[in-house]
Structure 1
Amino acid sequence: MTTSAPETKIVNEWRIACDGGGALGHPRVWLQIAKEDGWVECPYCDCKFVHSEAAAE
């Protein structure tokens, strides 16, 4: 059995919330994208949030 890669989302905000989406999500967490990195991963669902400025590079 193989597992699918975590989702990657391009966002326009530096501070975002993740709740895993759907009925079987996880508790809502607020994540801060560091401008040096340009991305952050959710500690629950491993979804990667990439800021649009970093994605353009």
Structure 2
Amino acid sequence: MGKITRDSLLSLEAYHKARPDIRARAIAERKLRTVHLGDHLTLIFENEFLMRYQIQE
């Protein structure tokens, strides 16, 4: 995984335009990368895309 830098993120305008597609992908990826261990423990395995999504939000 590469380093996430300010220059590697989308501008606010570009992110605003792409947000609906990015959000849909993030929700789908997070669902695939989530493991429920019983009723009280859930693990979410993050990747670079999900980390970028969190930063941009």
Using the size of structure 1 for normalisation, the TM-score is 0.23
| Greater percentage in strand | 1
TM-score of the aligned structures, taking structure 2 as reference length: 0.23
Return the structure number with greater helix share: 2
